[in-house]
Structure 1
Amino acid sequence: MKALLSVALVSVLFSSVALAHEAGDLFVRGGLAKVTPHESSDDVLNSGELDIGSDTQVGLTLTYMLTNQFGVELLAATPFTHKVSTAGLGEVAEVSHLPPSVMAQYYFGQEHSQVRPYVGAGLNYTVFFEEEGKGALAGTDVNLDNSFGLAAQVGVDLDLSDGWFANASVWYMDIDTDVHTAVGTVDTEIDPITVMASVGYTF
C-alpha cells in the first residue's frame, strides 16, 4: 500500500495529461505479477506444514467501464509454478496453476483525473495442473483439487500519455485445496497475495 500511495503522489506532481476512464471504455493492462502464498496446512508425516514458494509471471487484465466509476475486470496470466516443501522433508512437490478472476471495480476520482485509484471484489477460480512429486514423494501421484473462492484488490492507474497509463495493484485470493498424495490427503489454504506492476492502454 505504501508503494501504491507513493506512485500516486508522484503522478499527481508530474503528470500533465488526464486519464479518460469513462463509460464504454475498454482497456488492457499487461506486466509482471508476483504470487506469494500465505499458506497453512495439515501436518505432513510429522514433518511440518506445507511451504509453498513464490513465483513471478506475465499478468494481463481486461477491463470494461460500465459507467465513469464502475468497471468489470478479467484477470489472466501465464501459468505460475511453485515449489512445495516441508521443514522436515525438504522439497516434496512442484505444481502449476492458473488463477482466472472476475472483479467488480469502483474507481475514485473523476473520469479525466490524472490518478484513478480503485478497489475491486469478485470471484477466483484456480486450476491446478502438472503436479509432480519430488524428494520423498518422487514417483508418486500428487493431485490438487481446483479451487473456487472470493478475491479482492486495490490499485491505481497513473497517466503516461494519450491512451497510455501505468498501473500498480495488489490482489488477495481465497484459495483452498485438498492435496492428494500416496501418503494421504492434506487440507491446505494457500490464500496468496499477488502484486502486479503493468502498463495499460485505453481503446
Structure 2
Amino acid sequence: MIRFRHLTLAMLGALAFAPAAFAQDASTDSASGKRFAIVGGYALSQPTKNPQIGGVRTDVDGDGAPTLSASYFFNDNFAIEAWGSADKFGQRLNSNGGKIGSVDSQPVALSGQYHFRGADSIVRPFVGLGYYQANYTGEKLLNGQRLGVDNAKGGIATAGVDLNINPTWFARADVRYMQGSKSDVKLDGVKVGEAELNPVTVGVGIGARF
C-alpha cells in the first residue's frame, strides 16, 4: 500500500507541474510529428491468481522493478511499443502464513497502442493490446526440492495516460494486465501442477520523444 501511495504522489506532482512547463515551450516546439519515444519507470506487479505446488495451495507476493519501453509512432495517435522489466520481479511463495520458496519473473511485451487527443494536449490517455512472455528464473523451495516453472505467454492489455511536461518530455502512469497460458510446475523434474499467475502491473515513468 505504501508503494502504491508513493507512485500516486509522484504522478500528482507531475500533473501539477505539466501545464506551466508545457505552456512555456509550446510556442517554440511541438510534440506532433515526433516518431520515437522512450520511457524509463518503475512498476509494481501483483499476481491475480495463486498456483498449487504438489497439491499445496500457495500465495504469491507481488514485487517492484524498474521498467523500460520504446515506441514508434506511425502518426500522432497510433504506435507500437516494446515494453519490459529491466530487472526481475522477485516473488515470494507462501503457504499457511509462512514462506516456502521464491521465484523471479521478468516480463517483456510488444503492443499496438492508440493515443487519444492531439500530440500537444497536456493530458493524453492511451490504450493498447499485444503479446507478452514472462520468463521465470531463480525458482527454489526452502525444503530443498528443485522447483521449475515454465515461461508464461499470452495477451497483454494496457491503459495509461501521458502528461506532457513540454513537447519533448512527459510523465506516464499505466496499468497492464497479462492473461497468460498455464505454466507447468515441476518438483525435482516431475510435473506436479500448473501455475497461472495473470499479473497486474501498475507503473509510473518519465519519457522523452524525438
The alignment's TM-score, normalised by the length of structure 1, stands at 0.84
What is the rounded CA distance, in whole Å, between the counterparts of 1:12 and 1:140 in structure 2?
52
- Amino acid of the residue matched to residue 157 of structure 2? A
CA contact (8 A) 1:11 1:115 kept: no
Query: 4+ residue stretches of structure 1 with deviation over 6 A?
Result: none
- Amino acid of the residue matched to residue 181 of structure 1? L
> Which segment drifts farther, 22-31 or 114-123?
22-31
Alignment match, 1:115:
123
1:167 aligns with 2:172: yes
Q: CA deviation at 1:162?
A: 3.9
Among 184, 188, 197, the residue aligned to 2:204? 197
What is the rounded CA distance, in whole Å, between the counterparts of 1:27 and 1:162 in structure 2?
12
Alignment match, 1:133:
141
Alignment match, 1:179:
185
The alignment partner of 1:165 has SS state of: strand
Q: CA deviation at 1:179?
A: 1.6
The alignment partner of 1:93 has SS state of: strand
Q: Which runs of 5+ in 1 are unaligned?
A: none
The alignment partner of 2:165 has SS state of: strand
Q: CA deviation at 1:67?
A: 1.5
Among 73, 85, 102, the residue aligned to 2:110? 102
Closer/same/farther in 2, CA of residues 180 and 13 from structure 1, 3 Å limit: same
Q: CA deviation at 1:21?
A: 5.0
CA contact (8 A) 2:126 2:160 kept: yes
What is the rounded CA distance, in whole Å, between the counterparts of 1:106 and 1:87 in structure 2?
44
CA RMSD, Structure 1 to Structure 2 (Å): 2.6
Q: Which runs of 5+ in 2 are unaligned?
A: 1-7
CA contact (8 A) 1:33 1:56 kept: yes
Q: Deviations over 1:112-151 (max 9, x none)?
A: 21121100000011111111112xxx22110001111000
CA contact (8 A) 2:41 2:206 kept: yes
What is the rounded CA distance, in whole Å, between the counterparts of 1:179 and 1:76 in structure 2?
24
- Amino acid of the residue matched to residue 29 of structure 1? V
| Aligned residue pairs, count | 194
What is the rounded CA distance, in whole Å, between the counterparts of 2:109 and 2:30 in structure 1?
24
Among 142, 147, 163, the residue aligned to 2:147? 142
The alignment's TM-score, normalised by the length of structure 2, stands at 0.82
- Amino acid of the residue matched to residue 100 of structure 1? V
What is the rounded CA distance, in whole Å, between the counterparts of 2:152 and 2:46 in structure 1?
17
CA contact (8 A) 2:19 2:165 kept: no
